[in-house]
């Protein structure tokens, strides 16, 4: 895939980018090597073990996050004996115990006890402990893992941090009730590129456009990410704080929409942060996780016209419509609006550099 560097000359990816199984499989390594959001620190009390599958139903890498005293680990959740999955649900036990033949592990992954192995030679070796060479990153309380090598995304996170270093991250905590998961029958990239332009707001989100100043919508390209922001129409409807972003005081900004390559969105609002994770399942199936991290004492707002739910429904509807359209034999590719689609172009440039 080749996307011209100059947005004024470039064309969007051809539809095979969204429809070809071969290209979809190629993106596997992009995701394996990326940082994926796992959970918020506030979900981990002492001796908490949270099992999960990294990119469930696709990469399906079984992992478990553990917390022992003040240390947080991310371990392979596969027993080193014959490969059973060890931890099946969130628990508060001090050991991870395999229910197949009773082998147990400490919360740092080291092997604790292995019944029946007295006569086995050179046992245990370090291979009998759980693999903990999984990069775990605690970014202001948001935990990310990387099962591969690519550390480039760290640059994006560092850039984001420097833009909002005044933000009270320490006051965020996970709100399970306000969090939700959707599945849609569309390619993950269609969902991301829709997020990456505010061009459609006036057409698709009529409610939202009454809250933000459309003229002020601004897109900034980051190293492995994009920042979009808009000024608030109403004074008391801003993210507050004492930052200045692109010359605008943060108390005039309605929201900051950060996207992190390839599939993570961090939306900074007045009430807290919403993390959107766009997880490919197949080339036409995507899971969208909305994680709500409100600031102490606040709740995710559900306004009249601009509730997140409504905006989400509007976005999903349009993305599904595009999914149908790109399969038509009469569509192959389009051109970019050089004024409004810088973010989308940036995304296509980055992904094409990996494919
Ligand atoms: S597979 Fe875990 S103890 Fe045998
Ligand atoms: Fe939208």
* Ligand 1 neighbourhood includes 101 CB (under 6 angstroms): yes
Does residue 57 sit in helix, strand or coil? coil
79 lines ligand 1 (CB under 6 A): yes
Q: In whole angstroms, give the CA distance from residue 180 to residue 174.
A: 12
Q: How confident is the model at residue 290 (pLDDT cuts 50, 70, 90)?
A: very high
| pLDDT for the residue numbered 17 | 97
CA triplet 176, 180, 186: central angle to 5 degrees?
A: 160
Query: What separation in Å is there between the alpha carbon of 325 and the centre of ligand 2?
Result: 18
Q: Is 341 helix (H, G, I), strand (E, B) or coil?
A: coil
The C-alpha torsion from 172 through 312 and 262 to 8, rounded to 10°, is: -120
For the Cβ of 233 lying below 6 angstroms from any atom of ligand 1, the answer is no
Per-residue pLDDT at 308 exceeds 60: yes
Task: Compute and round to an integer the Cα radius of gyration of the chain.
Answer: 22
Mutate to test the pocket of ligand 1, among 76, 80, 100, 104 (most ligand atoms within 8 A of CB): 100
Q: Which atom of ligand 1 is nearest to the CA of 86?
A: 2
Verdict on whether the full-model pTM lies above 0.85: yes
Name the band, by pLDDT with cuts 50, 70 and 90, for residue 302: low
Closest Cα to atom 3, ligand 1: which residue?
101
Q: How far is the CA of 261 from the centre of ligand 2 (A)?
A: 18
Percent pLDDT > 70 in the chain is 97
Lowest mean pLDDT among 15-19, 44-48, 101-105, 136-140: 44-48
**Which domains, and CATH codes, for the chain?**
1-34+153-355 (3.90.380.10), 42-149 (2.102.10.10)
In this prediction, what percent of the chain has a pLDDT beyond 90?
A: 79
Q: Is the pLDDT of residue 306 over 70?
A: no
- The confidence band for 343, taking pLDDT boundaries of 50, 70 and 90, is very high
The CA-based angle 120-122-126, given to 5 degrees, is: 115
Q: How far is it, in rounded angstroms, from Cα 338 to Cα 207? A: 25
Q: Is the CB of 84 under 6 A from ligand 1?
A: yes
Taking only the tens place, the pLDDT of each residue in 158-209 is 999 999 999 999 999 999 999 999 999 999 999 999 999 999 998 999 877 6
* Residue predicted with more confidence, 87 or 216: 87
* Per-residue confidence (pLDDT) for residue 214, from 0 to 100: 67
- Ligand 1 within 6 A of 112 CB? no
Q: Which ligand is nearest to the CA of 311?
A: 2
Cα gap 50→75, rounded to integer Å? 10
Nearest residue (by CA) to ligand 1, atom 4, is: 101
- For residue 59, pLDDT over 70 is answered with yes
Residue bearing the CA closest to ligand 1, atom 1 = 82
Proximal ligand: closest to the CA of 228: 2
Q: What is the pLDDT of residues 186-200, one digit of tens each?
A: 999 999 999 999 999
Rounded to whole angstroms, how far apart are CA atoms 332 and 337?
17
Pocket probe for ligand 1: among 64, 77, 81, the residue whose CB has the most ligand atoms within 8 Å is: 81
- Each residue's pLDDT tens digit, 96-146: 999 999 999 999 999 999 999 999 999 999 999 998 788 999 999 999 999
* Angle (deg, nearest 10), helices 342-354 and 21-32: 90
């Amino acid at each position: 895939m080749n996307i011209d560097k100059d947005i004024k000359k470039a064309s969007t990816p051809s539809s095979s980018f969204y429809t070809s199984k071969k290209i979809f499989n190629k993106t596997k390594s992009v995701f394996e090597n990326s940082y994926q959001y796992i959970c918020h620190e506030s979900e981990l009390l002492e001796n908490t073990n949270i099992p999960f599958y990294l990119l469930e139903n696709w990469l399906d890498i079984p992992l478990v996050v553990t917390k022992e005293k003040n240390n947080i680990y991310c371990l392979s959740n596969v027993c080193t004996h014959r490969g059973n999955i060890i931890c099946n649900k969130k628990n508060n036990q001090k050991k991870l115990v395999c229910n197949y033949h009773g082998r147990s592990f400490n919360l740092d992954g080291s092997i604790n006890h292995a019944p029946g192995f007295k006569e086995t030679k050179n046992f245990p070796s370090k291979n009998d402990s759980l693999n903990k060479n999984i990069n775990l990153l605690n970014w202001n309380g948001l935990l990310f893992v990387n099962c591969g090598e690519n550390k480039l995304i760290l640059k994006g996170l560092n850039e984001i941090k420097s833009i909002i270093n005044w933000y009270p991250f320490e006051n965020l905590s996970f709100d399970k009730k306000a969090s939700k998961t959707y599945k849609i029958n569309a390619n993950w990239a269609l969902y991301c590129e829709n997020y990456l332009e505010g061009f459609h707001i006036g057409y698709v989100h009529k409610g939202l456009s009454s809250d933000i100043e459309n003229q002020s919508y601004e897109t900034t390209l980051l190293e492995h990410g994009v920042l979009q922001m808009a000024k608030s129409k109403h004074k008391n409807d801003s993210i507050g704080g004492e930052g200045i972003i692109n010359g605008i005081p943060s108390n005039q900004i309605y929201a900051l929409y950060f996207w992190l390559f390839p599939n993570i969105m961090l939306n900074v609002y007045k009430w807290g942060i919403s993390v959107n994770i766009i997880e490919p399942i197949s080339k036409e199936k995507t899971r969208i996780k909305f994680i709500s991290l409100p600031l102490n004492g606040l709740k995710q707002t559900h306004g009249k016209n601009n509730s997140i739910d409504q905006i989400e429904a509007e976005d999903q509807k349009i993305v599904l419509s595009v999914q149908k359209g790109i399969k038509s034999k009469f569509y192959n590719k389009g051109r970019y609006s050089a004024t409004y689609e810088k973010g989308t172009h940036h995304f296509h440039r980055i992904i094409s550099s990996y494919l």
